[in-house]
Chain A
Amino acid sequence: MALVEIPIGPQHPALHEPVMLKVRADGEDVIGVEVNTGYNHRGVEKLLEKNSWVRGMYIAGRVCGICNAVHTQTYVQGVENLMGVEPPPRANYIRTIVMELERIHSHMLISAVMAEVIGFTTLFMLIMRDREKAMYLKELVTGNRVHADIHVFGGVKRDLDEVRRSRVLDELRRVEERLKYYRRVFETDYTIVRRLSEVGRIKKSDALKLSVVGPTLRGSGVRSDVRFEDPYAAYPEIPFSVIYRDEGDSWARMMVRLDEALESVNMIRYALERLPQGPAVPKAIPRTARPGEVFSRVEAPRGELFYHIVSAGGTNPYRVKIRTPSFLNVLNTESTYLGHRLADVPVILASYDPCISCMERVLVVDERSGRRVYMSLKELAQVGFG
């Protein structure tokens, strides 16, 4: 058997920064994986130090495209704590609605990507078509289908009027119907179940040691959800159940996500029906914060998002440490690839829900002959399939 080293990347296979997975394979079996990073460290933490609190709101939102509202929420709730302002209940509800809409479209995206990675392009197309419905709802509420930018210190930038509210409630029914269908597909489809189950298993005892978060942690049977354990925004008032499964494999992680998306639909409906009256948009925003530090946590679609904000007073942050969920989920799980087939690598990586947008090129090097073959990750998955 030829010993093969396969660099997957470095063009952004995973995180908010381009990442390279160096996979060493003995024939088809993976014997080692090393994650290489640093191709595009944008220095957002330094950028936040150099800009004012207010500008930081938008810089934080641009750490990640898919989960921008949760990034802004983490930053804003931390800074609000330091500034001593409290958002009104109505603003909290609107923020929650936006964040849950984001969760729905994020989970639909990774379901679609997973379908594509395993060679199920029809399903990819179908999910992406219906994901647009969720994106439209977000556009309706916030004014942009991707970047919400609705948070502001002490409230939200735009109120949700009655026309929009009933429209969202209306459209939500169609999103829910489609989500239920895709959940059924993922649960029962022979190909998907065979391809995903028993792949990339993380045992419950290892999950905490490896420090994975979010659906990856809950897919391993740990009942940990920031929204439930450490509630923020309007989550203390909205009933929901924490989804978790005991299987711990790629399939369990996907099922957790789809169940969560359905739970999110119910949460949005609950929040919309009980939207408190009162102001949501603040008249003026504070610009200075007291000295101190705050540990801000939010449940992003991919898991626990953590901001450590240190203030020395004044108009600029002293230090902002950002730890995205993908940092833990992708970097700490090198060991889960071991013993699997080469074709399972994309499946396992996708099951951690990395920001996969640019996952494109894979280089296969046959070490004996020195022959180099360029393939996309999708092709690689399909080669392994045949």
Chain B
Amino acid sequence: MRLSLLGEVLKNITRRASTIKYPVARELTVAPGSRGRHYADLTKCTGCSLCAIDCPANAIAMEKLPQPLKHNPRGVFPVVDYGKCVFCYQCVFVCPVKAYVTTEVFEMADYSTDVSRDSSLSTLQSGESP
């Protein structure tokens, strides 16, 4: 058994390479339901701040809603800073009205600060007007 790996190595010569040529060929996929970028759906959010209290990375800040868009009585909404976020999804779990929209987007390397503000605000603009 001195050359026990030889068969395996020879078999691999004819196989397709297992290296993924990312990002040149974009074939990198994640498992369905993977925890990716998430944002609050403001048509549901009540501004209760529970997500911000529980966030272990202090990545969620409650911001004031722009005046014409004031949608919940408290007038605040959560903004997730993806640079700080550890994607534990405690906010998604703890939300009493299940307001968080979850995605499988994981490509978040960016030059600028990446926050969920615009994604959240767009849920108001596309939905019914307040």
Contact = CB atoms under 8 A, between A and B. Distances in A.
Interface string A43-74: 00000000110110111011000000000000
A55 B54 contact: yes
A149 B12 CA distance: 36
Contact of B86 (A58, A139, A285): A58
A139 B30 contact: yes
B9 interface: yes
Given A129-B18, A136-B31, A140-B31, A188 B93 contact: no
Nearest to B2: A190
B56 A139 contact: no
Q: Report whether over half of chain B's contact residues are helix, strand or loop; otherwise say mixed.
A: loop
Interface residues of A, number: 32
Contacts of B54: 52, 54-55
Contacts of A184: 4
A122 B5 contact: yes
A189 interface: yes
A181 B11 CA distance: 14
A143 B33 contact: yes
B1 A157 contact: no
A126 interface: yes
Contacts of B88: 58, 61, 147, 149
A143 B34 contact: yes
B87 interface: yes
A142 to B, nearest CB: 8
Given A62-B86, A157-B89, A157-B93, A144 B4 contact: no
A256 B89 CA distance: 35
A269 B54 CA distance: 35
B107 interface: no
A152 B54 CA distance: 12
A190 B3 CA distance: 8
A6 interface: no
Nearest to A61: B88
Interface in B13-48: 18, 30-35
A87 to B, nearest CB: 15
Contacts of A123: 5
B8 interface: yes
Please indicate which of the listed interface residues B56, B86, B87, B94 has the most CB atoms of chain A within 10 Å of its own CB: B56
B90 interface: yes
A145 B29 CA distance: 12
Please indicate which of the listed interface residues A57, A59, A157, A185 has the most CB atoms of chain B within 10 Å of its own CB: A157
B94 A285 contact: yes
Interface of B: 1-2, 4-5, 8-9, 12, 18, 30-35, 54-57, 86-90, 93-94
Given A140-B32, A185-B4, 7 more contacts: A55-B55, A136-B31, A139-B31, A140-B33, A143-B35, A144-B35, A149-B88
12 contacts: A51-B56, A55-B54, A62-B86, A139-B31, A140-B33, A143-B33, A144-B34, A149-B35, A149-B88, A149-B90, A164-B33, A181-B8
